[in-house]
């Protein structure tokens, strides 16, 4: 029994800290012990007790000085794609095995300034490329619900750490589904906000036009203060949004939109979601969707209907095309972003080489894993002379059409879109080793949202998987900048269901 497991929500824990029933140092000490004792040694890639305890002491001092906020002393951890001063940052790659950043990513700095205590760095797929957290140079992460299964990816370490009760929240990144998909497969809640609302500064680049930071926690309510402090314009990120439709992108926005939605729901009393139109894309319920997941989604939609919402069938006709479009655009951008790892400036350098070209080529071959090399090859190919128009440009046109499909649905048919996150529950570790494309295909429900830059989240809505239960996630997708509203909707669902309260070993 850990100290953290005695608290059901971030709010309760925060209250215990402010009532002085527990100190940040006590909490951090106990949590570090749990991290060291946790059987899956691959979840955390870097832990440094001294650094964590120093942050905890600062949190206690802030509280003693009467300056504490809701996140002061709260234990979290960061996906190893965010650079951190002190802890190593590897992106789960041999290429960056010994890299220590001289600065903190904006997101890391914001969460630290809000008083959170970092437990260290969490495993992910190498450079965030993958869907199972098996593409890590340092070992696969196991799903806390059943260690023979993947936790999802690429933010698999983040989802596993939250599900295992090792941290209250964890940062993640989502380029094509990497917050929502592991959240779904590990039975936790996760949100990827609107592209541009959270800074990408210090977040190791995979595909810059898609990469967006997000966060995972047990429930929607806990996500609110975390996402709130992470959000905001950052002049160091050229794609950071200053505002959207006249609303400033500033810390406090998510929290206040969430609170406003709560007030509206309260006012509607017995039918809190009356007037809400939920769009259910018919293309999401295709032959690829497993019956277990389909049934769980149906049941979740009924819960929303019982709260007063109406369900409308919508069409996102280009759903299938999201896969080829994404798997052209993302590798193209990756091949460009990853060209900086040349063995000259930083990162792995081969021990033996001939000339300069040979040094770069050997360093990259040794430093990158199979999936990363595959993406670089695909990316270089689709950008090469003669193929650019046929593949890259075509993919960009399809991306535009996918955006239009979502815009059309939100303009005419619905206020929020709901559906599955994944076609099935978590697969077994090693299952797709011979067939990497099988993982790409399973991204079908998340990629379109990323291509459109819309906010999306996943919340637990059931279990499948036979004797050992494996979690299922419900996806919620909203209009640009509607994070607060999505979180409030998720919170309403979680007030009347208990999927998010189940913990591995006690489903
Ligand atoms: N599975 C997708 C990919 O491998 C998404 C990854 C992500 O969102 N980082 O590209």
Ligand 1 pocket mutation, candidates 177, 338, 422, criterion most atoms within 8 A of CB: 177
Cα separation, 198 vs 433, whole angstroms? 34
Question: Is any ligand 1 atom within 6 A of the Cβ of residue 132?
Answer: no
Q: What string of H, E and C letters represents the secondary structure of 82-121? A: ECCCCCECCCCCHHHCCCECCCCCHHHHHHHHCCCEEEEE
- Give 68 Cα–ligand 1 centroid separation in angstroms: 37
| Closest-lying ligand 1 atom to the alpha carbon of residue 174 | 8
What is the reported pLDDT for 157?
98
- Give 165 Cα–ligand 1 centroid separation in angstroms: 25
**Which residue's CA is minimally distant from atom 10 of ligand 1?**
129
List, in order, residues 6 or more apart from 269 with CB less than 8 Å away. none
List, in order, residues 6 or more apart from 96 with CB less than 8 Å away. 89, 90, 204, 341, 346, 347, 348
Mean pLDDT per 10-residue section of the chain, whose length is 507 residues: 91 96 98 96 97 98 96 98 97 97 98 98 98 97 97 98 98 98 98 98 98 98 98 97 92 96 92 96 94 97 98 97 98 98 93 96 97 97 93 97 98 98 97 88 97 98 91 98 98 98 84
What is the reported pLDDT for 433?
84
| Closest-lying ligand 1 atom to the alpha carbon of residue 210 | 8
Name residue, tokens 């953290």: 4
Question: Is any ligand 1 atom within 6 A of the Cβ of residue 189?
Answer: no
Question: Is any ligand 1 atom within 6 A of the Cβ of residue 152?
Answer: no
Ligand 1 pocket mutation, candidates 81, 93, 128, 174, criterion most atoms within 8 A of CB: 128
Question: Is any ligand 1 atom within 6 A of the Cβ of residue 176?
Answer: yes
- Give 317 Cα–ligand 1 centroid separation in angstroms: 22
Cα separation, 244 vs 266, whole angstroms? 27
Cα separation, 264 vs 137, whole angstroms? 48
Closest residue by Cα to residue 188 from 151, 224, 213: 151
In our burial notation (b when 16+ CB lie closer than 10 A, e otherwise), range 240-256 reads bbeebeeeebebebbbe
If residue 292 lies in a helix (H) or strand (E), which one and from where to where? helix 291-306
In our burial notation (b when 16+ CB lie closer than 10 A, e otherwise), range 173-204 reads bbbbbbbbbbbbbbbbbbbbbbbbbbbbbbbb
Q: Length of the chain, please? A: 507
Does residue 323 contact residue 395 with C-beta atoms inside 8 Å?
no
Q: What are phi and psi of 84, to 5 degrees?
A: -140, 135
What is the reported pLDDT for 507?
61
Question: Is any ligand 1 atom within 6 A of the Cβ of residue 372?
Answer: no
Ligand 1 pocket mutation, candidates 181, 208, 214, 371, criterion most atoms within 8 A of CB: 181
Strand duo 247-248 + 189-192: pairing: unpaired
Closest residue by Cα to residue 178 from 168, 167, 188, 191: 191
- Between vectors from CA 497 to CA 493 and to CA 498, what angle results, nearest 5°? 130
Question: Is any ligand 1 atom within 6 A of the Cβ of residue 204?
Answer: no
- Give 504 Cα–ligand 1 centroid separation in angstroms: 25
| Closest-lying ligand 1 atom to the alpha carbon of residue 439 | 1
Question: Is any ligand 1 atom within 6 A of the Cβ of residue 133?
Answer: no
Other beta carbons within 10 angstroms of residue 389's beta carbon come to: 9
Distance of CA 448 to the CA centre of its chain: 15
- Give 129 Cα–ligand 1 centroid separation in angstroms: 5
**E strands present in 227-362:** 243-244, 247-248, 277-281, 310-314
Q: Which residues pair with 350 in a beta bridge?
A: none
List, in order, residues 6 or more apart from 293 with CB less than 8 Å away. 420, 422, 423, 424, 425, 464, 472
Does residue 71 contact residue 115 with C-beta atoms inside 8 Å?
yes
- The per-residue DSSP string of 140-194 comes to PPPBTTBTTB---SSSHHHHHHHHTTS-SEEEEEESSSTTHHHHHHHT-EEEE--
Question: Is any ligand 1 atom within 6 A of the Cβ of residue 154?
Answer: yes
* Active site members: 79, 154, 178
User: What global pTM score does this model have?
Assistant: 0.98
For residue 370, with 0-12 CB atoms within 10 Å meaning exposed, 13-18 middle and 19 or more buried, which class applies? exposed
- Give 426 Cα–ligand 1 centroid separation in angstroms: 15
Question: Is any ligand 1 atom within 6 A of the Cβ of residue 177?
Answer: yes
Question: Is any ligand 1 atom within 6 A of the Cβ of residue 131?
Answer: yes
Please give the domain boundaries of the chain with CATH numbers for all domains.
4-267+483-501 (3.90.1300.10)
């Amino acid at each position: 029994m850990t100290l953290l497991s005695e608290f059901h929500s971030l709010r309760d824990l925060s209250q215990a800290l402010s009532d002085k029933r527990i100190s940040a140092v006590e909490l951090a000490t106990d949590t570090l012990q749990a991290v060291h004792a946790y059987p899956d040694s691959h979840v955390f890639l870097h832990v440094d007790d001294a650094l964590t305890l120093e942050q905890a002491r600062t949190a206690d001092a802030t509280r003693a000085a009467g300056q504490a906020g809701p996140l002061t002393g709260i234990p979290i951890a960061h996906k190893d794609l965010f650079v951190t001063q002190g802890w190593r940052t590897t992106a789960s790659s041999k290429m960056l095995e010994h890299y220590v950043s001289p600065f903190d990513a904006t997101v890391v700095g914001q969460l630290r300034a809000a008083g959170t205590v970092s437990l260290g760095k969490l495993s992910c797929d190498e450079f965030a490329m993958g869907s199972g957290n098996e593409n890590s140079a340092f070992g696969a992460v196991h799903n806390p619900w059943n260690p023979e299964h993947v936790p999802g990816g690429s933010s698999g370490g983040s989802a596993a750490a939250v599900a295992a009760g090792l941290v209250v929240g964890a940062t993640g990144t989502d380029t094509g589904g990497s917050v929502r998909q592991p959240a779904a497969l590990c039975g936790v809640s996760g949100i990827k906000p609107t592209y541009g609302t959270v800074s990408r500064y210090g977040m190791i680049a995979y595909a810059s036009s898609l990469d967006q930071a997000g966060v995972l926690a047990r429930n929607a309510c806990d996500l609110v203060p975390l996402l709130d402090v992470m959000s905001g314009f950052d002049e160091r990120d050229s794609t950071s949004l200053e505002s959207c439709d006249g609303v400033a992108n500033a810390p406090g926005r998510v929290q206040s939109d969430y609170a406003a939605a709560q007030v509206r729901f309260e006012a509607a009393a017995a039918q809190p979601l009356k007037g809400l139109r939920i769009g259910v894309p018919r293309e999401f319920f295709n032959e690829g969707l497993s019956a277990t997941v389909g049934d769980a989604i149906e049941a979740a939609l009924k819960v929303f209907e019982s709260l007063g919402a109406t369900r409308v069938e919508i069409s996102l006709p280009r759903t299938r095309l999201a896969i080829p479009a994404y798997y052209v655009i993302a590798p193209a951008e990756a091949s460009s972003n990853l060209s900086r790892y040349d063995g000259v400036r930083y990162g792995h350098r081969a021990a033996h080489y001939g000339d300069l070209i040979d040094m770069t080529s050997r360093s990259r071959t040794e430093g990158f894993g199979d999936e990363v090399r595959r993406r670089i090859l695909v990316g270089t190919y689709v950008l090469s002379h003669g193929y650019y128009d046929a593949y890259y440009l075509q993919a960009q046109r399809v991306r535009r059409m996918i955006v239009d499909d979502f815009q059309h649905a939100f303009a005419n048919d619905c206020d929020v879109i709901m559906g599955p996150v994944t076609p099935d529950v978590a697969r077994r570790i090693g299952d797709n080793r011979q067939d990497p494309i099988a993982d790409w295909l399973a991204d079908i429900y998340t990629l379109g949202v990323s291509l459109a830059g819309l906010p999306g989240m996943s919340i637990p809505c059931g279990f499948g998987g036979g004797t050992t239960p494996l979690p299922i996630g419900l996806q919620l997708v909203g209009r640009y900048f509607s994070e607060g509203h999505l979180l409030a909707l998720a919170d309403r669902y979680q007030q009347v269901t208990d999927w998010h309260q189940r913990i591995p070993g006690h489903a």
